[in-house]
Chain A
Amino acid sequence: MSGFRLDQGGRIDRSQPVSFSFDGVTYQGYAGDTLASALLANGVMLLGRSFKYHRPRGLLGAGSEEPNALVSVTRGPGRFTPNLRATSVELHEGLSATSQNRWPSLKTDFGAINDRLGMFLPAGFYNKTFMWPRSFWDRLYEPAIRRMAGLGEAPTEIDPDHYGATYAHCDLLIVGAGPAGIDAALEASGTSKRVVLLDEQDEAGGGALSDPALWKWLEESLKDLAAAPNITILRRTTAFGYYHDNFVGAVERLTDHLPHPADGAREKLWRIRADEVVLAQGAIERPLVFAGNDVPGVMLASAARTLLQRYGVAVGRSVALMAAHDSGWRDIFALARAGVGVAAIIDLRESVDAALLGEAQVLGIAVELGHSVIDVHGRLAVKGVTIARNDGAGAALLACDALLMAGGWTPSVHLWSHSKGSLAWRDDLGAYVPDQPNEAVRCVGACSGKWSFGSGLVTDSLPTPRDQSRIKAFVDFQNDVTAKDIRLAVREGFKSIEHIKRYTTTGMATDQGKTSNLNGLQIAAQALGRPVVDIGLTSFRPPYTPQSFGALAGHAQGALFQPTRKTGIDSWAEENGAVFELVAQWRRARYFPQGGEGMLAAVNRECRAVRSSVGIFDASTLGKIEVVGPDAAEFLNRMYTNPWKALEPGRCRYGLLLKEDGFITDDGVSARLAADRFHLTTTTGGAARVLNTMEDYLQTEWPDLDVWLTSTTEQWAVIALQGPMARKLLAPLVEGIDLSADAFPHMAIREGTICGVPTRLFRVSFTGELGFEINVPAAYGRALWERLIADGAAYGITPYGTEAMHVLRAEKGFIIVGQDTDGTVTPYDAGLDWAVGKKKPDFVGKRSLSRSDIVAPGRKQLVGLLTDDPTVVLEEGAQIVADPAQAVPMTMIGHVTSAYWSEALGRSIALALVAGGQQRIGEVLYVPMPDRVISARISGTVFYDPEGARLHV
């Protein structure tokens, strides 16, 4: 037990005690504490186990840079968050936190064997050792390594919380509400600018919170800002990423700090677009690199000051300082003045500012200049240190229970770097500082490299008389990377910091090198014998600190994950027990099982109804485009493969759409309503793509054409009525249209009314039966559907879904673009020669149809496939071979694109793309499956009613 609560001081509310638990033990803290400060106040120094060696770890820092004290917090069932930094977890009544990466307990961790074996676990150990045999990796090595090496555990339950999101726009975004950020906000407070000032902490003030001399200024400034109507302050909000054109992503934490979370969102994603960004992210103190610098109780000097001034917590009763920078002296002076015992100040430098020496003398603090700490004693807590002169002589033991490190300061250039601003090296700071901006952004305060913390000596690691290869002097605490590992990487030939980073893992993961990057760079540069600027700097990547997946998803979860588009008739299908499938974003009824039917039985029944009487199908999802203007026919003539100019008003045509490369991209039946007006249909999934492609040609290739395109997909509900009884059912409901075969032939369209509602009535068929597709304004779709169901009862009307639709069309050999074609199929390959207007001088894709490889023999062509055993239904996607006896790998000459049980034919049918297929009709081919080989004979693609007699009735 080293840390303790002082009798006075801090910004905590001592009138509000708070009880909380850590690893099942209950402790007391105060409102205003963090989990870290409250644990330290209770004398708990051991807060975690390290990533690789399972070494005991305590606090290093006091803010979001903390690499060691990672904890898991449980907020009730399903609400489990791993890897939170104890320094950023606000204390509240009932907070329940646990340590990580230890078994069975934090004090007795079995995994710590890795620390003893440390000499066998150098950088790259896993890559080098677990190479062979390859098959062991997935089953043995990786799971075992993951169990040992992981940090927190992933939650296992679905997150019951919900999350908000918003866009925000401002003229000035200030990141960081320390003194520099607050100054920037005050400067803008009298203007008309919309200002957003955000800060990751629960309280605005940043570094000023650790300096009581600034508290009065802080209070007054915040009062002024609160009164300024143009300024929005967001607390508990982390700007995690800085993207193009001043787009900044931030997460606001709304409820985690509350003992009883309110109903609202847990966190909120802010997507902020700013005219100007001011970065006031401050600077982070650098650790020093020496043996034992990770023992619990060794921490940054600035962290000890923050714990003292902000939380009224002393980090020890006898505190030593290892300094290479003036700022640490001021930190330990603050501790001394607050009555904390100080063991000594050890400074790497041979001389320091006389004023500092004078103050130390006044406070009665022993000073050792030109000395370094060469070892730290104690395993679970600091018991003392060995110091020596920098030449290695004069080693002496110094008793203490905490050791502060003051290695200088690193400007936080993370967001600046996300924005691709350039950096300049400053030898005097031993750090990179912002140089040229790449966006409308400027840095103010410590993150700009301008600070008044005093001067210091830049060093890679402290001098030591000990064997460098036998000591663990940590550079990256979170990833357990030592100075030795970096030197080893250099010895093994790595010369760029990018490679050293990947080999040693320094600066990686959630930490993004906040405390380690510059020490790592200095050590690598020293080992390579080159200047730091020559070995490069690794990228800082978003997020600045870890963010929850929930926050990044925002409200896109559950019902709001992605729109599920439903037709007006979908609700009827749901009420009538339909099984659904997703087609693009649409939910479509796949089949309508009755009384415990399986899919096959339902589909067979639905198919029988269509072929024998009448079926009804919701085709509303079909894409529809209205093409209007004097040049409408000319435009379609250029887009589609077949001729359109001579199509008479009132008639329909099957249109095939190619890409310029000659391959089929969409198809559909379209109707000419008037000389200058067409009603196009597209596939369900292709609607948006087809419209975009057509707009592209119209706007950019043929802007002279007077024709316009309007999506009417959602204007119309479409009900397909298919089967020999369709006309009888329809006739009494329709006004103004003569339904007789002569007056209204197959592939015609008529306008009139149905049940008093205007309709565009198509006589078309995707089933091979007499059929109509009734278009009515979408609001009337469901009512008309119900009327047809009611009136159709006399004919045994049967609703059918997409599965039966697929079977019925396959029996007729009608293709489905995207199933029977795959982006490499020409109209000739698909057997659709008849749909190509060979006399047309041009259409989209025509030139490609005469390219040498398109006309070459042996292309895969669409054919029918009839299994020798009629009861066997092939698997879609199955490969086809000519010689079943060939050794693996066999020569695959095609694949099955569609395969179904055909109720009408009493056998299975299939469509397939087969090399030279149209020349192979009658041949027997083979489909090898895991358990057997299926033989099948190539046929034409039309299995049912090849003469089309059933259509023209």
Chain B
Amino acid sequence: MRRQPPQWRIEMLLIHCPYCDEARAEIEFAYAGEAHIVRPPDPSLMSDEEWQRYLFIRSNPRGRHHERWRHIHGCGRFFNAVRDTATDKFEATYKAGEPRR
């Protein structure tokens, strides 16, 4: 039960949603972390170290980054993107489930 700070921001990026096939303002989207990290089919088979890697270890590169976004205030779909973390430029966006670009 906490007060929430105002969620005010000016969106800047223009993001192409691969489902709507349209470029829309960043304010319609939510960032959702690194892409292509698949939940293990049977976590009970994993060692603590393997599980820790799945939970917490991310690549955090400078440059090409595979990441997930959700068109949360649009079609609602999660999708993948390749974005350059140094320039903020999107190289590609593609549907969830499609192979890594």
Alpha-carbon separation in the docked complex, A700 to B7 (Å): 27
In the A-B complex, the 5 residue pairs with the smallest Cβ-Cβ separation, listed nearest first, are A847-B43, A245-B14, A243-B12, A244-B12, A562-B6
Contacting pair A420 B48 (CB below 8 A): no
Task: Add 18 more A-B contacts to A556-B6, A703-B97, A841-B42 (CB < 8 A).
Answer: A244-B88, A246-B14, A249-B10, A273-B14, A273-B25, A438-B87, A585-B4, A684-B1, A685-B1, A692-B70, A696-B32, A696-B70, A699-B77, A842-B42, A842-B43, A846-B44, A847-B44, A852-B48
Q: Which residues of B contact A847 (CB under 8 A)?
A: 43-44, 46, 51
Q: B73-101, CB under 8 A of A: which get 1 and which 0?
A: 00011100000000110000000110000
Contacting pair A700 B96 (CB below 8 A): yes
Answer yes or no: B20 CB below 8 A from chain A CBs.
no
Q: Which residues of B contact A802 (CB under 8 A)?
A: 1
Q: Of B13, B30, B46, B78, which contacts A245 at CB under 8 A?
A: B13
Q: Of B14, B77, B97, which contacts A247 at CB under 8 A?
A: B14
When C-beta atoms are compared, the residue in chain A nearest to B54 turns out to be A660
Interface residues on A, range: 35 or more
Report A553-598 residues with CB < 8 Å from chain B CB. 556, 561-562, 582-585
Given contacts A585-B4, A685-B2, A842-B44, contact A420 B87 (CB under 8 A): yes
Contacting pair B96 A660 (CB below 8 A): no
Q: A660-698, CB under 8 A of B: which get 1 and which 0?
A: 110000000000000000000000110000001001100
Contacting pair A700 B48 (CB below 8 A): no
Contacting pair A562 B7 (CB below 8 A): yes
Answer yes or no: B62 CB below 8 A from chain A CBs.
no
Alpha-carbon separation in the docked complex, A687 to B97 (Å): 27
Answer yes or no: A11 CB below 8 A from chain B CBs.
no
When C-beta atoms are compared, the residue in chain B nearest to A556 turns out to be B8
Alpha-carbon separation in the docked complex, A823 to B87 (Å): 33
Q: B42-73, CB under 8 A of A: which get 1 and which 0?
A: 11101010011001000000000000101010
Given contacts A249-B10, A696-B32, A851-B51, contact A701 B39 (CB under 8 A): yes
Alpha-carbon separation in the docked complex, A695 to B76 (Å): 9
Report A422-436 residues with CB < 8 Å from chain B CB. none
Alpha-carbon separation in the docked complex, A851 to B43 (Å): 12
Answer yes or no: A940 CB below 8 A from chain B CBs.
no
Residue of A245, A556, A703 with most partner-chain B CB within 10 A: A245
Answer yes or no: A271 CB below 8 A from chain B CBs.
yes
Contacting pair A696 B7 (CB below 8 A): no
A244 CB to closest chain B CB (Å) equals 4
Alpha-carbon separation in the docked complex, A923 to B11 (Å): 54
Contacting pair A584 B87 (CB below 8 A): no
Q: Offer 15 A-B interface pairs, CB within 8 angstroms, sorted by A.
A: A244-B12, A244-B13, A244-B88, A246-B14, A249-B10, A582-B3, A660-B55, A692-B30, A695-B78, A700-B97, A701-B38, A842-B43, A842-B44, A846-B44, A851-B48
Q: Of A438, A562, A661, which contacts B8 at CB under 8 A?
A: A562
Contacting pair A692 B72 (CB below 8 A): yes
Answer yes or no: A819 CB below 8 A from chain B CBs.
yes
Alpha-carbon separation in the docked complex, A649 to B51 (Å): 36
Report A269-286 residues with CB < 8 Å from chain B CB. 271, 273
Answer yes or no: A848 CB below 8 A from chain B CBs.
yes
Alpha-carbon separation in the docked complex, A700 to B10 (Å): 28
Alpha-carbon separation in the docked complex, A684 to B2 (Å): 10
Contacting pair B7 A818 (CB below 8 A): no
Q: A826-848, CB under 8 A of B: which get 1 and which 0?
A: 00000000000000011000111
Q: Which residues of B contact A819 (CB under 8 A)?
A: 1
Alpha-carbon separation in the docked complex, A685 to B2 (Å): 8
Q: A239-265, CB under 8 A of B: which get 1 and which 0?
A: 000011111010000000000000000
What is the count of residue pairs linking A and B with beta-carbon distances less than 8 angstroms?
Answer: 82
Alpha-carbon separation in the docked complex, A851 to B53 (Å): 13
Query: Secondary structure of the B side of the interface?
Result: loop
Q: Which residues of A contact B1 (CB under 8 A)?
A: 583, 684-685, 802, 816, 818-819
Contacting pair B51 A848 (CB below 8 A): yes
Alpha-carbon separation in the docked complex, A273 to B27 (Å): 13
Alpha-carbon separation in the docked complex, A193 to B30 (Å): 32
Q: B26-42, CB under 8 A of A: which get 1 and which 0?
A: 00001010000011001
A contacts, CB < 8 Å to B: 243-247, 249, 271, 273, 420, 438, 556, 561-562, 582-585, 660-661, 684-685, 692, 695-696, 699-701, 703, 802, 816, 818-819, 841-842, 846-848, 851-852
Contacting pair B43 A696 (CB below 8 A): no
When C-beta atoms are compared, the residue in chain B nearest to A845 turns out to be B43
Q: Which residues of A contact B52 (CB under 8 A)?
A: 851
B38 CB to closest chain A CB (Å) equals 8
Q: Which residues of B contact A848 (CB under 8 A)?
A: 51, 55
When C-beta atoms are compared, the residue in chain A nearest to B4 turns out to be A584
Q: Which residues of B contact A247 (CB under 8 A)?
A: 11-12, 14
Q: Which residues of B contact A582 (CB under 8 A)?
A: 3-4
Alpha-carbon separation in the docked complex, A523 to B14 (Å): 41
Alpha-carbon separation in the docked complex, A584 to B88 (Å): 31
Q: Which residues of B contact A420 (CB under 8 A)?
A: 87
Contacting pair A699 B78 (CB below 8 A): yes
Alpha-carbon separation in the docked complex, A847 to B6 (Å): 36
B15 CB to closest chain A CB (Å) equals 9
Alpha-carbon separation in the docked complex, A561 to B4 (Å): 13
Q: Which residues of A contact B76 (CB under 8 A)?
A: 695
B68 CB to closest chain A CB (Å) equals 7
Alpha-carbon separation in the docked complex, A661 to B55 (Å): 7
When C-beta atoms are compared, the residue in chain B nearest to A684 turns out to be B1
Q: Which residues of A contact B87 (CB under 8 A)?
A: 420, 438
A173 CB to closest chain B CB (Å) equals 14
A806 CB to closest chain B CB (Å) equals 8
Alpha-carbon separation in the docked complex, A445 to B11 (Å): 30
B71 CB to closest chain A CB (Å) equals 11
When C-beta atoms are compared, the residue in chain A nearest to B40 turns out to be A847
Alpha-carbon separation in the docked complex, A165 to B43 (Å): 50
Q: Which residues of B contact A243 (CB under 8 A)?
A: 10, 12
A580 CB to closest chain B CB (Å) equals 12
Alpha-carbon separation in the docked complex, A938 to B1 (Å): 25
Residue of B39, B46, B70 with most partner-chain A CB within 10 A: B39
Q: Which residues of A contact B97 (CB under 8 A)?
A: 700, 703
Q: Which residues of A contact B78 (CB under 8 A)?
A: 695-696, 699-700
When C-beta atoms are compared, the residue in chain A nearest to B38 turns out to be A701
A77 CB to closest chain B CB (Å) equals 27
Alpha-carbon separation in the docked complex, A420 to B4 (Å): 34
Alpha-carbon separation in the docked complex, A562 to B7 (Å): 8
Q: Which residues of B contact A584 (CB under 8 A)?
A: 2, 4
Q: Which residues of A contact B2 (CB under 8 A)?
A: 583-584, 685, 818
Alpha-carbon separation in the docked complex, A819 to B43 (Å): 30
A419 CB to closest chain B CB (Å) equals 11
Q: Of B7, B12, B38, B96, which contacts A699 at CB under 8 A?
A: B96
Alpha-carbon separation in the docked complex, A242 to B55 (Å): 38
Q: Which residues of B contact A852 (CB under 8 A)?
A: 48
Alpha-carbon separation in the docked complex, A710 to B10 (Å): 28
Q: Which residues of B contact A661 (CB under 8 A)?
A: 55
Q: Which residues of B contact A699 (CB under 8 A)?
A: 77-78, 96
When C-beta atoms are compared, the residue in chain B nearest to A245 turns out to be B14
Q: Which residues of B contact A851 (CB under 8 A)?
A: 48, 51-52
Q: Which residues of A contact B38 (CB under 8 A)?
A: 701
B90 CB to closest chain A CB (Å) equals 9
Alpha-carbon separation in the docked complex, A582 to B5 (Å): 11
A891 CB to closest chain B CB (Å) equals 28
Q: Which residues of B contact A244 (CB under 8 A)?
A: 12-14, 88
Alpha-carbon separation in the docked complex, A692 to B96 (Å): 15
When C-beta atoms are compared, the residue in chain B nearest to A271 turns out to be B10
